[in-house]
Structure 1
Amino acid sequence: MIYVPVPVSRIEILRPLPINVWDTKGNLLLRKGQSILSEHHREHLEAHGACATQPDYKAWVSSYDRLIYGLLREGVSIQEIAQATMPQDILELDYTVGEDITGGWTDVQAVWGTVLQTGATAKNPLGRLDGVQKRAMELLDKDADESLFSLFQALADKTLGYCATHALLCAVVCELTARKLALDDCVRPILVQAALTMNTSMAKLQDTLVTQPTPPDAEQKQRIQDHPVQSEAILRGFGVVNEDLLDIVRLHHDRDETKGLERNRECRRILHLADVLIGKMAHRSTRPGLSALGAAKSNIVGVPDEDARVGKAMTNAIGFYPPGTYVMLANGEKAVSVKKGAAVNTPLVVSIANAQGLPLGIYVLRDTREKPFAIQSPVAADNVKISHERVQKAVMKVILAAP
C-alpha cells in the first residue's frame, strides 16, 4: 500500500474527515468520520507523519480542486482562497482514475472516438475525458501548428471518425481563442471539456451525416435540435457535477443570452462559433466544405458585434489558412499550410504540386509574404493526397539551413 502525507495544517478542527488517516507504517490514526480535536491533536498527527492511501489522497485533492474552482468562479479573493481548508466531502467521481495517453493525435482521437460512439454506456468516461484533455493540451502546448495540421488533415480524411475529429478540433480552436481573449486559467479547461463532450448524444449521427447522400430527414433534424440537452443528460449520467460545464453544453447553440449562467456567456459564444466553423469546413456528401477563409468570414461579417469580436479572435488564433489546409499560390503551385505567419493571411506553406498540377517529387517550403508565393485562393481538400514525411522534410531542411 502506498501512503501519501496529508496536509494536516489545512484540516479544520472538529470537522469530520472523509477518509481514514494513517501513520507512515500503516497504523490507523483517525478513522473516517472522526475529527482533529485540538491544535495539540494536530501536532500529534504531524509528529506521526499523518498519511492517506494514494486513492483516498487523490480523491481528496480532486474534491479540494473542485472547491477552489467554485471559489474562483464566485469571485472570492485570492487571500480568502489561500485560507481554504480541506473539504469535508468526497464524491464518487473524485475517485475517477484518469487514463494515461502517451501517443499523438491519432491515439487521442481513437480513445475519444470510442467514448463518443459508446455514448451513455461508455466505460470510465470521465477518466478517459481527463486523459484525452490532458494529452490534447500537452500536444497543443508542444506545437500548436503541428496540432492544427494533424487535426485539419484528419478532418479531410473520410476514413477517420468525424465525430472525434470535430470534437478535438473544436477543443483546440476554443482553447487557442480563449487564450487570445485572455480567459481565466480556471475557465479554459471547462470550455475544452464542453467542446469535447457537447455532441456526445449525436456522435453516431454525426458520422452518418458525413457520408449520407441526402440531407437530414425530420427525425435526424429533431435529434440535432435536441442534442445539447441530451448531451447534458448523458454527462449527468456520467457523474458530472460541474454546473458550468453542464450549462455550457446545454446552451451552446441557444443564442438567448438571458438563459443560463451569466458568467458562461463568453464560453458559450466561443464554443458555438467554433462548432459552426468546424462544421462548415467539414465536407459532406450533400455539399462541399467551406474553406477556413469562408468559414471565418461567416463568423465575422454580418453577425452581432459580440460574435464578430470572438470570431476575429478565433481567426487571429488559427489564421485564414490554418495549418493542414490547402492553398493555391500566385505562381500556380498548390501548397499545404504548415505554420501560422505574422499575419492571418501569410502562413508558411509547403508546395506539393507545380503549376501544371503535377505532384512535386520534393516538397518546397514557401513564404507567402513573398510576391511569387502569395496566396491566390484556398483549395478544397477533396482528393488531395500528400506525404506527411515529405512535408516535415521540407520544413526541417529550411530550419537546419538557417544561420
Structure 2
Amino acid sequence: MKLIPFEAEYLQVGTSLPFDLHNTEGLLLMPREAVIADRTQLEHLLGHDLMVDEHQSAEWRQERARERELEDAFAEAFEAPRGAAPPPPSPPDHAELIAELGQLQSQLHALLIDNRPDDKWLPRMVAVSSRTLDLTHQHADALLFLVLQRAVRRYEHYSSRHSLLCAMASALCAEQLDMPEAQVRSLMLAALTMNWSMTAMQDELTLRERTPSLDQRVRIDRHPELSARQLESAGVQDRLCIDVVTRHHQDGPVDLRFAALAPADQLARVLRRLDVFFAKISPRLSRPGMPAPLAARAACLGPNGEPDEVGSAIIKVLGIYPPGTCVALANGELAMVLRRGPHASQPHVVSLTTAGGAALLAPLRRDTAQPAYRITGTVRPSDLRSAVALPDLLAMM
C-alpha cells in the first residue's frame, strides 16, 4: 500500500469517501464509506496530516481532477471582466423587496395551480411576468440571491419557485445574447408557464421519496405539449411563447449554432438549459441538490462537450457559484455567495462561520480573489448555522 497526501478541504460533515483515511504513520483514522457524523469528528480528522492509498483513491481523484478542469475551462472562457457596469440603481428597501418577491411568487403559485382559468387569468399572469421582468432589470443580484437561497433549502411550492428562477435567469441570458425586447417578454411568459399542466404534481413529487408512477411519468413527458394547449385555451396569442413552451425540453437542431436557429429554438435552448440547471441544484426530499459547478456540466456544455453560446451566457449571468450558494473557503470558513463578481469563479461572499464551524457574531465580507479566501467547493446549506436575517445580508451587497 502506497500512501499519498490527501487535501482536507474535501472533508465535510454528513459525507463519506470511497477510500480509507490514514495518518502519516499509516494508522487508520476513518474507513471507507464511513460518514463524518458531526463537527467534532471533522475537527479530529483535520488535526492530522491525512493520507490515502494511491490505488484505492485513484478513481475518486480522477473525478475531482475532471471537475477542476471543467471549472478551469469555465474560468478561462468567461473570466474576462464584465466591463464598465452601469450606475447602480438607488438601494431598495430590502424588507419591501423581500415582501414583494414573496407576494409575486404567491400570485404565480395561485395562477399555476388554476387549471380552469377565467378571463382574468391571462391579464394577471401577464402582470406577474411584466413585474418580474422589471424587478429583474432593477435588482438582479438581490432577486437571484433571495430566490436561490430559498431554492437550495426548501421543498414547498417548488414548481412556482423554479419557474420564477428560470424566468429571471432567462431574461438576463436573453439580454446577454442581445435578443430583442419582444422576444425577452415572450421568453419570460414561457418560463413562468412551461410547467403549468403539472404544477400540483410537480410540487407533490418534490415532497415524496418514491419515484413517479407510470401515469405520472407520462404526464411529465407530455407536459410541454399540455402546457402549451392550456395557454392557448387561456387566450394566449403570443405564438412565440407557445412554441417555446412546446419545445422547452428540446435543444434544437444540434448541428446548428445558436445564431442559425429559428427564434423559437433559440429561446427554447436558453430555457431548457436553465430548466436543467435549476432542477439539478434544487433539493428534493429524496435527494440533495447538486453542486452548481457539476450542474453546469449538463446546462452549459454543447453537444461537443465545450461551452457554447448559451452556456457562456449562463455562466456570465450566474457565475460558477450563483448568488445564494453556500461555499467553503480555503481558510476553512463557510460562506454564502451574495452577488456575482467581476469574474465567474470569484463572486462576492460573506463568511458566516469560523474555520471551526462556530457561527460568527456578524458576517464578514471576503475577497475570493485572495488565496486565503479562494472558494474550494460548495457545502450544504445545513452546514451554515447562522441566524443572520436576510435584510442584513442584502444590506451587505
1:388 and 1:121, CA in 2 relative to 1: closer, same or farther beyond 3 A? farther
Look up the match of 1:30: none
Does the 8 Å CA contact 2:155/2:206 hold for their aligned counterparts?
Answer: no
Look up the match of 1:216: 212
Look up the match of 2:202: 206
Cα offsets for 1:337-390 (capped at 9, x unmatched): 00111111000101111111111111111111111111010112347554453x
Tell me which of the two structures has the higher relative contact order, counting C-alpha pairs closer than 8 angstroms and 6 or more residues apart. Answer: 2
Does the 8 Å CA contact 1:253/1:272 hold for their aligned counterparts?
Answer: yes
Does residue 153 (structure 1) correspond to residue 154 (structure 2)? The answer is no
- SS state of the match for residue 164, structure 2? helix
1:194 and 1:176, CA in 2 relative to 1: closer, same or farther beyond 3 A? same
Look up the match of 1:376: 376
TM-aligned CA deviation for residue 223 of structure 1: 0.8
Match among 112, 120, 125 for residue 116 of structure 2: 120
TM-aligned CA deviation for residue 307 of structure 1: 7.3
Look up the match of 2:351: 351
Does the 8 Å CA contact 1:329/1:375 hold for their aligned counterparts?
Answer: yes
Does the 8 Å CA contact 2:155/2:285 hold for their aligned counterparts?
Answer: no
CA separation in 2, counterparts of 1:385 and 1:116? 34
Does residue 248 (structure 1) correspond to residue 271 (structure 2)? The answer is no
TM-score when scaled to structure 1? 0.68
- SS state of the match for residue 360, structure 1? strand
Does residue 182 (structure 1) correspond to residue 178 (structure 2)? The answer is yes
1:206 and 1:123, CA in 2 relative to 1: closer, same or farther beyond 3 A? farther
Which structure is larger by alpha-carbon Rg, 1 or 2?
1
Report 1:80-91 matches (<5 A).
Answer: none
Look up the match of 2:140: 144
Does the 8 Å CA contact 1:200/1:231 hold for their aligned counterparts?
Answer: yes
Look up the match of 2:308: 308
Look up the match of 2:19: none
Does the 8 Å CA contact 2:302/2:311 hold for their aligned counterparts?
Answer: no
CA separation in 1, counterparts of 2:221 and 2:178? 31
CA separation in 2, counterparts of 1:108 and 1:306? 36
TM-score when scaled to structure 2? 0.69
Q: Percent of pairs identical after alignment?
A: 31
Look up the match of 2:105: 109
Look up the match of 1:332: 332
TM-aligned CA deviation for residue 160 of structure 1: 3.7
Look up the match of 1:266: 266
Match among 144, 160, 168 for residue 172 of structure 1: 168
CA separation in 1, counterparts of 2:295 and 2:365? 26
- SS state of the match for residue 181, structure 2? coil
1:159 and 1:220, CA in 2 relative to 1: closer, same or farther beyond 3 A? closer
Look up the match of 1:287: 287
TM-aligned CA deviation for residue 226 of structure 1: 0.6
TM-aligned CA deviation for residue 121 of structure 1: 3.4
Q: Which runs of 5+ in 2 are unaligned?
A: 1-96, 255-260
CA separation in 2, counterparts of 1:366 and 1:325? 15
Q: Which runs of 5+ in 1 are unaligned?
A: 1-100
TM-aligned CA deviation for residue 319 of structure 1: 0.5
Does the 8 Å CA contact 1:365/1:394 hold for their aligned counterparts?
Answer: no
Look up the match of 2:229: 233
